[in-house]
Amino acid sequence: MAASPWSLDAFVGLILWDYPEIILALASSFFLMFLNRRRSSAWPINWPFIGMLPAIVVNFPGLHDYIAHLHRHVSCTEMFRGPWFLGADLLLTCDPDNVNHIFNANFVNYPKGDQFREVFDILGHGLFNVDGDSWKFQRKIANTLLGYRNFRTYAIGATREKAEKALIPLLLHKSECGEPMELQEIFTRLAFDVTCLTAFGDDPGSLSLQLPDISFSTALDDAWEALFFRHTVPKSWWKMMKWINVGTEKKMANARKVIDQNISQRISQKRQEINAKISKADLLASYMEVAEGVKDKVEDTDKFLRDNVLFLMIAGRDAFSISLSWFFFLLHNNPKVKTKILQELRLFRSSENKSTTFSAEELSGMVYLHGAVCETLRIFPPVAFEEKTALKEDVLPSGAKVAAGQRVVVSLYAMARVEAVWGKDCMEFKPERWITEEGKVRHVPAYKFMAFNCGPRICLGKDLGLMQIKTVAAAVLWNFEVEVLDAARVEPKNSAMLRMKNGMMVTIKKRTHSIE
């Protein structure tokens, strides 16, 4: 679902209109902008009072690429200084050794922290936000529920069925009509329906031919946009915006109302189903069963359910749809890779088998497809950055000193674009880097390939998520030729999740199965 793109004029106008107390600081920033442009290959100037704010303002429309540029040409680890007295200094890094230290070796010293929870307040006190004993408690529950074989079978089956009975018919209709379509929106709708099925046991039908408006899904997009903006400005700024209810904070407030209302309705509906002894293998039903047994450890059962189901909804919907969108963008730009995947698909499809989708067993044997999906996640990780806060002073393997209370931001997007990490061909789309000489899947340490996080907080749904992506990718590629229109307009959006800023318009044609 394409959202309105940010422009520099809109960003500046918002700040000047709503924050007169900082007009002088920003005026100085704009006066000094040209100097930052001239120093584009160097770390930003740390100006008195305003810090490195001018660099953020100038490069805000393409902030992910700007941070990657700094890491690639200056250093993999540097301190980014915010305006004085606002506590906005960030230690930026994309060094795998530092990542391993922060997320694994010295995990206890780098929790999410109170500042993180304040920024991501919409996620409440669910698994994503909490630390310590609460995190251990909720992690254990999630690990048990996501690990159930019945649930995994149900989730993969729901994905395949949705692809076969909704996605493929919709794409076939579009191909017969010859109508261009925005593919990121289609994948978002697919992922939303599948995630609702797995989370609530209910299909909202957002992928029907009519493509109805789904307020819940739109609210999730608005929330992510606001969360990203909170990371780019001092806390006092977005706090003021929240107080007077303007800009992205107004979007956030409205989104939260829609999200809370929807989940509350789902919880009530699920209780009715349970009382009526209607059995489903969805996560909400499982969480409600668990909640009954841990009432002594949960202050508010409905809030516990809301926070955890919302996190799983977001993790499922966004990572799924974002990965699929970038996968087909990269295939469009790399036709040789597409041909190799088609050849592999053909090996697993006999002439007697007329199914439009592939089974989990078939997909498990497709090494090259797996490599292409991992390579997509490397270049365009669904979560563009991770953030931690140091409890105590520390020294990273790179030699950088970390003060107590220091916020550390790891750019996954930048890590993929640094030669020191991935080699001189780091910018190339090469599924081969994930395959050994023996033709098996190559293991890459999680602290180097951070698409699923690493260390104790590594994603519990990694294998399930990969299978869902491969299920849909193989089905679309086997049945259709996808041609991206105006690929030059496809770029990352300024969001906490790495969606496409302008979407991705494509044309769809029914595939004849001749190897290209």
Average predicted confidence (pLDDT) for the chain: 87
CATH number at residue 32: 1.10.630.10
Cβ 222 vs Cβ 3: under 8 Å: yes
Range with lowest mean pLDDT among 21-25, 55-59, 353-357:
21-25
The pLDDT tens digits for 41-57 are 478 888 888 888 888 88
Question: Residue 404 is part of which domain span?
Answer: 8-510
pLDDT number for residue 352: 62
pLDDT number for residue 355: 78
pLDDT number for residue 351: 62
Residue 2 lies in a domain: no
Residue 55 tokens, joined:
């660099």
Task: Look at residue 428 and tell me whether its pLDDT is greater than 80.
Answer: yes
- pLDDT level of residue 76 (50, 70, 90 thresholds): very high
Residue 225 lies in a domain: yes
Task: Look at residue 240 and tell me whether its pLDDT is greater than 80.
Answer: yes
Count of structural domains, the chain: 1
CA distances from 316 to 159, 160, 198, 312 (A): 11, 15, 9, 6
The better pLDDT of the pair 289, 378 is held by 378
pLDDT number for residue 445: 95
Residue 458 lies in a domain: yes
Percentage of the residues of the chain whose pLDDT score is greater than 70? 91
Residue 414 lies in a domain: yes
pLDDT number for residue 300: 84
Task: Look at residue 381 and tell me whether its pLDDT is greater than 90.
Answer: yes
Residue 127 lies in a domain: yes
The pLDDT tens digits for 297-313 are 777 888 988 998 888 88
Residue 163 lies in a domain: yes
Task: Look at residue 107 and tell me whether its pLDDT is greater than 70.
Answer: yes
Segment (H or E) for 90: strand 90-93
> Of 288, 287, 374, 365, which is closest to residue 326 (Cα–Cα)?
374
pLDDT number for residue 264: 92
DSSP assignment of 370-423: HHHHHHHHHHS-SB-EEEEE-SS-EE-TTS-EE-TT-EEEEEHHHHTT-HHHH-
Residue 348 lies in a domain: yes
Percentage of the residues of the chain whose pLDDT score is greater than 90? 55
The pLDDT tens digits for 434-459 are 999 999 999 999 999 999 999 999 99
Residue 87 lies in a domain: yes
Range with lowest mean pLDDT among 31-40, 361-370, 506-515:
31-40
